[in-house]
Chains A and B, each alone.
Chain A
Amino acid sequence: MNKKTGLGFHGETSWRCSCGGELAPHKVAAFYLGNRFEIELPACSQCGFILVPESLAVGKMLEVEKILEDK
């Protein structure tokens, strides 16, 4: 979880990747309008497919996007 933005996701996920890999928490860089945050998200250990869960996308992430847009 990024302390500044509150972005990130630590919930259990039952999704598996189509490549056969398991999803595990990974460090991910999130970019928007020239800003960069380091956050933790579930990603496939084999192919690197990053999951952005719905709750995060329509919740905190949307909120941060709007804050950055108004900066």
Chain B
Amino acid sequence: MERYKLDDFEQRCIQDELPYCQAACPLKVDVRAFCGAMAQKRFDAARKILARSMPLPDIIGRICDHPCQDACILAQKGGAISIGKLERACLENSKEMGMILRLPSKKLSATVYGAGLSSLSCAIELAKKGYQVSMVFDGEIPGGRLLMFPQEVLPQEVLVTTWQNLQRMGVTRSFEKDPISYGLKEGSALYVGVDDPEWTHLVDANDVDPFTYQTSTKGFFAGGYPRSDMPSPIWESADGKRAANSIDRYFQGASLMSGREKEFSLETKLYTLLEGVPTLSPKDDPIEEAKRCIRCECRYCVRECVFLEKYKGYPKIYARQIYNNFAIVRGSHSANKMINSCSLCGLCEVLCPNDFSMADLCRFAREQMVERKIMPPSVHEFALLDMEHANSPRSSGFRSGAKTTEAVFFPGCQLAGAMPDQTERVANFLGEMFDGKMGILLGCCGAPAWWASRQDKVEEVIKSIEKTIESLGNPTLIMACSSCNEVFKNFIPKVSRVSLWQVLLERGIPEAKPAAETLALHDPCTTRHEPEWRESVRKILRILGQPYEELLFGGETTRCCGYGGLQLMADPDLAHEGVLRRLKESENDFLTYCAMCRESLSGSGKTVFHLLDILFPPSAGKVRLGYSKRQQNRELLRVKLLGPCDLPPEPWDDLPISVSDAVREKLEDRHILDSDIKQTLWEASSTGRYLISPDGTRLASSRIGNVTFWVEYREDNQSFAIINAWSHRMVMELMS
């Protein structure tokens, strides 16, 4: 992964952008953290947070004109946080911070003119950096206009202590009156704070750079100009601090401007959702008021995605972790699992105000892993083998229409596997509608290979499909599955496609009895950018009189069922968590129009209908079938719709096995197919090699592809009763 690619991804995620209050503060005080500390009554910690950005928290905290408050988005929810009041409360309740740390002394010196807040701020900041600072001001102590504040607002002792602290830091007093005629010595700089009226005459406001605060005379800086009719203590202080930063750069011979965008900008790109935030009016008690702060952040995508939530960060951090995953030379590629667990569903991109796409990032990372041969071989192998099965002559094939081929029905491998009878009935129904002008194409579209970033395999599948379509005279494909649609849209966009639902709307809907109860409508994630698909389904439901409920996260913001992107293969627990979260969104049973969604969402406490379950009601119940059954179904459907294939059956095909529900569940979790079991049993029978236990059960083993399977079974007259099965990928060799 190249650096520029990382930067591009990182820049899109706005979670690290400053909260609105902090962005609006010229000193960039971390108001969010400050409110957090105040809410916990940690006054000393809160004071430290102020001191991190404020040159003189004891003064500014008491008189701050808090532009942050105007930026607080809680103004829309009962009222902005009274941050100014909280600052005061913090200072009144916290202890003095003691000595301020100072960098080792430098020989370079600066003279600071004026007694106002900008001059004091500039002086303390330069002193902290180790420069020799002398101040020129009138009166006993510096303060200027600050001395006019009422005692209860800004006690004079605070100003006395401030001057004492400055002196302790090495700041001296000078009585040099005219900086210009005095001239600038080498290795020195000066600052004039015009917020002290005494010194305003020394500088022409038009001669001062508004960002660097330098005048046309090098080394001569000025700040503290009023920005409105009212004096602004926070801006005066910010001017002094920023000018001190410029003087520091000037002394170091560095650019006065470069890399200071964040220091100057008052903008933020942060996006904080206020949905669900209670409306509360401001509280008198500062602690209660601080508790109202919602600690603005984005994390919108994270909140709405089990995958993004699981890794405890946010996209910007994930982009960095993925970058590092490729940068390591030795050690573990610790982000592999994360990269492979994204469902590639695209919800984050739709939610993100800046269109950050975790799908793009993870897809790109997967491509790199495959290219560099570091993709863990076990993650996608099972799904890819299932795809191979769906595209083997036993499950796939095509036929043209009896007369011509205007259209071709492409049910997709999941519908064919999960709902073979209904697929057959749809094929027959459409066949009649098209009056001998519709062909059929069975097989997998290549989605699993695309999700696994196996470009070679996608191309192989797509080329074969393209060739078939061409040989049929480029008819329109009638698509039942939106995932297949997404694949074709991406790889063979020129091929004409139409959704099964659109065709039914146009040609006629079968007579059907809707379910009596209201069903929660789950849009498949691959219809996110297919409004016509979604609308066709809704039209059918309305025509049928099927009551349905729109989910809050439906349509363009629908969620994935956990199968997308092969999430289920990389992290089955996460996929299951996503299913449970989805099902919790409604009290009702669910309705979808993707066979894989129905399969994934089923079996977790709710009945999940496919639209075809309503249009072509099944004879049996709507249950989860599992991998083996789906493979068998595809083969049977192939025979029914296209006739038997040319391949001879495998010798173990007809071995009778019986599997209890409990064992079946284990086989599914462990990705062990009936065909693996039968082949293992057949090999054991043929070679006579197996193990026997005292109670007569047997244990057979067979290496099939990259996996060694173990099957524990009992043989009776009629069948092999499967007791247990497991597998591993390591290969064992006896040492002599």
For chain B, residues 295 to 352, give those with C-beta under 8 angstroms from any C-beta of chain A. 331-334, 336-337
Ordered by A's residue number, 16 sampled pairs between the chains whose C-beta atoms are within 8 Å are A14-B694, A15-B693, A18-B688, A18-B691, A26-B734, A28-B732, A41-B732, A50-B732, A51-B691, A54-B726, A61-B728, A62-B728, A67-B332, A69-B377, A70-B333, A71-B333
Q: Which residues of A contact B708 (CB under 8 A)?
A: 52
Nearest-neighbour CB distance to chain A for B313, whole angstroms, equals 19
> Is B733 a contact partner of A65 (Cβ separation < 8 A)?
no
Known contacts A15-B693, A47-B689; A70/B732 CB under 8 A: no
Provide the B704-724 mask, 1 if CB < 8 A to any CB of A, else 0. Answer: 000010100000000000001
Residues of A within 8 A of B (CB): 14-19, 23, 26-33, 38, 41, 43, 47-52, 54, 57-58, 61-62, 64-67, 69-71
Nearest-neighbour CB distance to chain A for B659, whole angstroms, equals 17
User: Complex: how many Å from CA A27 to CA B726?
Assistant: 22
Q: Which residues of B contact A49 (CB under 8 A)?
A: 689, 691, 701
> Is A57 a contact partner of B710 (Cβ separation < 8 A)?
yes
> Is B734 a contact partner of A23 (Cβ separation < 8 A)?
no
Nearest residue in B to A30 (C-beta to C-beta)? B730
Nearest-neighbour CB distance to chain B for A32, whole angstroms, equals 5
Nearest-neighbour CB distance to chain B for A65, whole angstroms, equals 5
Nearest residue in B to A52 (C-beta to C-beta)? B728
User: Complex: how many Å from CA A15 to CA B700?
Assistant: 11
Q: Which residues of B contact A70 (CB under 8 A)?
A: 332-334, 336-337, 376
Q: Which residues of B contact A30 (CB under 8 A)?
A: 730-733
> Is A65 a contact partner of B730 (Cβ separation < 8 A)?
yes
Q: Which of B689, B694, B735 contacts A29 (CB 8 A)?
A: B735
Nearest residue in A to B336 (C-beta to C-beta)? A70
> Is B730 a contact partner of A32 (Cβ separation < 8 A)?
yes
Q: Which of B724, B731, B732, B734 contacts A54 (CB 8 A)?
A: B724
Nearest residue in A to B700 (C-beta to C-beta)? A18
> Is B732 a contact partner of A52 (Cβ separation < 8 A)?
yes
Residues of B within 8 A of A (CB): 331-334, 336-337, 376-379, 670, 688-694, 698-699, 701, 708, 710, 724, 726-735
> Is A29 a contact partner of B691 (Cβ separation < 8 A)?
no
> Is B691 a contact partner of A31 (Cβ separation < 8 A)?
no
Nearest residue in B to A18 (C-beta to C-beta)? B690
> Is B735 a contact partner of A27 (Cβ separation < 8 A)?
yes
Nearest-neighbour CB distance to chain A for B311, whole angstroms, equals 15
Nearest residue in B to A36 (C-beta to C-beta)? B733
Q: Which residues of A contact B734 (CB under 8 A)?
A: 26-29, 43, 48, 50
User: Complex: how many Å from CA A30 to CA B733?
Assistant: 6
Nearest residue in A to B330 (C-beta to C-beta)? A71
Nearest residue in A to B331 (C-beta to C-beta)? A71
Q: Which residues of A contact B692 (CB under 8 A)?
A: 15-18
Q: Which residues of B contact A57 (CB under 8 A)?
A: 710, 726-728
Q: Which residues of A contact B726 (CB under 8 A)?
A: 54, 57-58
Nearest-neighbour CB distance to chain A for B625, whole angstroms, equals 24
User: Complex: how many Å from CA A38 to CA B729?
Assistant: 16
Nearest-neighbour CB distance to chain A for B160, whole angstroms, equals 63
Nearest-neighbour CB distance to chain B for A19, whole angstroms, equals 7
User: Complex: how many Å from CA A30 to CA B376?
Assistant: 18
User: Complex: how many Å from CA A51 to CA B332?
Assistant: 30
Q: Which residues of A contact B688 (CB under 8 A)?
A: 18-19
> Is B699 a contact partner of A15 (Cβ separation < 8 A)?
yes
Nearest-neighbour CB distance to chain B for A63, whole angstroms, equals 11
Q: Which residues of B contact A62 (CB under 8 A)?
A: 728
> Is B733 a contact partner of A29 (Cβ separation < 8 A)?
yes
Q: Which 7 A-B pairs have the closest CB atoms?
A: A69-B376, A15-B691, A57-B728, A27-B735, A54-B726, A32-B730, A31-B731
Q: Which of A16, A64, A65 contacts B691 (CB 8 A)?
A: A16
User: Complex: how many Å from CA A19 to CA B688?
Assistant: 8
> Is A33 a contact partner of B691 (Cβ separation < 8 A)?
no
User: Complex: how many Å from CA A26 to CA B734?
Assistant: 7
> Is A32 a contact partner of B731 (Cβ separation < 8 A)?
yes
> Is A14 a contact partner of B690 (Cβ separation < 8 A)?
no
Nearest-neighbour CB distance to chain A for B429, whole angstroms, equals 46
Q: Which residues of B contact A67 (CB under 8 A)?
A: 332
Nearest-neighbour CB distance to chain A for B151, whole angstroms, equals 67
User: Complex: how many Å from CA A32 to CA B708?
Assistant: 12
Q: Which residues of B contact A23 (CB under 8 A)?
A: 691
Q: Which residues of B contact A14 (CB under 8 A)?
A: 693-694
Q: Which residues of A contact B379 (CB under 8 A)?
A: 69
Nearest-neighbour CB distance to chain B for A70, whole angstroms, equals 5
Nearest residue in B to A65 (C-beta to C-beta)? B729
Q: Which residues of A contact B733 (CB under 8 A)?
A: 28-31
User: Complex: how many Å from CA A23 to CA B690?
Assistant: 12
User: Complex: how many Å from CA A26 to CA B377?
Assistant: 29
Q: Which residues of A contact B331 (CB under 8 A)?
A: 71
Nearest residue in B to A69 (C-beta to C-beta)? B376
Nearest residue in A to B735 (C-beta to C-beta)? A27
Nearest-neighbour CB distance to chain B for A49, whole angstroms, equals 6
Nearest residue in B to A71 (C-beta to C-beta)? B332
User: Complex: how many Å from CA A61 to CA B730?
Assistant: 8
B333, B692, B728 interface centre (most CB from chain A within 10 Å): B728
Nearest-neighbour CB distance to chain A for B667, whole angstroms, equals 13
Nearest-neighbour CB distance to chain B for A15, whole angstroms, equals 4
Q: Which of A19, A27, A66 contacts B376 (CB 8 A)?
A: A66
A15, A29, A31 interface centre (most CB from chain B within 10 Å): A15
Nearest-neighbour CB distance to chain B for A39, whole angstroms, equals 8
User: Complex: how many Å from CA A34 to CA B332?
Assistant: 16
Other A-B pairs beyond A30-B733, A31-B731, A32-B731, 9, CB < 8 Å? A14-B693, A16-B692, A16-B693, A17-B689, A30-B731, A49-B689, A52-B701, A52-B728, A64-B730
Q: Which residues of A contact B732 (CB under 8 A)?
A: 28-31, 41, 50, 52
Nearest-neighbour CB distance to chain A for B15, whole angstroms, equals 27
Nearest-neighbour CB distance to chain A for B658, whole angstroms, equals 20
